[in-house]
Amino acid sequence: MDLQIDGNVALVTASSSGLGKAAATALAREGANVVINGRDEDRLEEAREEIEEVATGEVVAQPGDLTDADDITALVETAVEEFGGLDHLVTSAGGPPSGPFLETSEEDWYDAYDLLVMSVVRLVKEAAPHLREGDGGTLVTITSRSVKEAIDSLVLSNSVRMSVIGLEKTLSSELAPEVRANAVLPGPHETARIRELVEQAVDRGDYDSYEEGLEDWSEGIPLERIGDPMELGEVVAFLSSPRSSFVNGVSVPIDGGAGASNL
């Protein structure tokens, strides 16, 4: 299916690895010109080179910290200066620390809010005028399945990410009709982080093999496996395209059917 985004301009944050990188890859493969972002410049450059191998659009790497307002301004400015505008914004960020409520400090709460919520607030404020100028601007926020069902020992993610969904739903009305806003809610995917966790567990003797560890992570998923990051990336590209032109204000779980919530 041609997603009809060839020549469009997309900015994807936290895209030097993981799900953000998968989203950037999917968009670049469809012909979009993509600005990718991360704090580690070496890893960001490696990601740019890897994405360019499959891209039919151009790929530009712009380092930056999503908790720094000046860096966020620079991200949007880079997209506009390099490509003449901005059609699609995909927001992603690393997860906050795990831990139960009583072991979570006030500083942890403020840090999580700054990373997960204020980064999106600042990005949208900077990007909205440009998204509205084009023909069919989009915003896709990558959050977590934790906004549907609380996950043990992830009080920060369970709580703070809900604000991103409330913001996304509000923006789907306030920025319409020029801009559509949607969210994706990933379950476990075979990112570098999960590979690292499984490999560490194998080294500790918790599992006999990497495959056994992945099978354990897949427990409770009806499809009996965890996701490939590109499976999420392709949904993000679809939501950024005219092919999803009547999809607005939704939150799409991408978890292999693991969630038990009816809504």
How would DSSP label each residue in 216-247? HHTTT-TTSSPBPHHHHHHHHHHHTSGGGTT-
pLDDT band at residue 94, thresholds of 50, 70 and 90? Answer: confident
User: How far is the C-alpha of 32 from the C-alpha of 88, rounded, in Å?
Assistant: 9
Q: Would you tell me how many other CB atoms lie within 10 Å of the CB of residue 85?
A: 15
Go through the chain and tell me how many residues it has.
263
Is the Cβ–Cβ distance between 239 and 184 less than 8 Å?
Answer: yes
Which tens digit of pLDDT belongs to each residue from 107-133? 999 999 999 999 999 999 999 999 999
pLDDT band at residue 153, thresholds of 50, 70 and 90? Answer: confident
pLDDT at 63: 98
- Going by C-beta distance under 8 Å and a sequence separation of 6 or more, which residues neighbour residue 2? none
Threshold 0.85, pTM exceeds: yes
Average pLDDT over residues 74-101: 95
Which tens digit of pLDDT belongs to each residue from 203-254? 989 999 999 999 998 999 999 999 999 999 999 999 999 999 999 999 999 9
Q: Tell me the pLDDT of the chain averaged across its residues.
A: 95
More confident residue, 181 or 196: 181
List, by residue range, all CATH 3.40.50.720 domains of the chain: 9-189+228-254
pLDDT band at residue 97, thresholds of 50, 70 and 90? Answer: confident
The residue assigned the tokens 């920025």 is: 175
Copy the structure tokens of residue 42: 């070496």
Q: Residue 124, Cα to own-chain centre: how many angstroms?
A: 14
Within 13 Å of residue 197, how many CA atoms lie on the same side as its CB? Answer: 11
Most confident listed range (83-92, 93-102, 143-152): 83-92
pLDDT at 152: 87
Kindly report whether the peptide bond that precedes residue 177 is cis, defined as omega within 30 degrees of 0.
Answer: yes
- Region of poorest pLDDT, from 27-41, 75-89, 199-213: 199-213
Most confident listed range (89-103, 106-120, 140-154): 106-120
Nearest residue to 72 (alpha-carbon basis) of 49, 54, 89, 47: 89
pLDDT band at residue 197, thresholds of 50, 70 and 90? Answer: confident
pLDDT band at residue 35, thresholds of 50, 70 and 90? Answer: very high
User: How far is the C-alpha of 228 from the C-alpha of 167, rounded, in Å?
Assistant: 27
pLDDT at 196: 86
pLDDT at 192: 84
CATH architecture of 9-189+228-254: 3-Layer(aba) Sandwich (3.40)
pLDDT band at residue 201, thresholds of 50, 70 and 90? Answer: confident
Nearest residue to 69 (alpha-carbon basis) of 27, 107, 118: 118
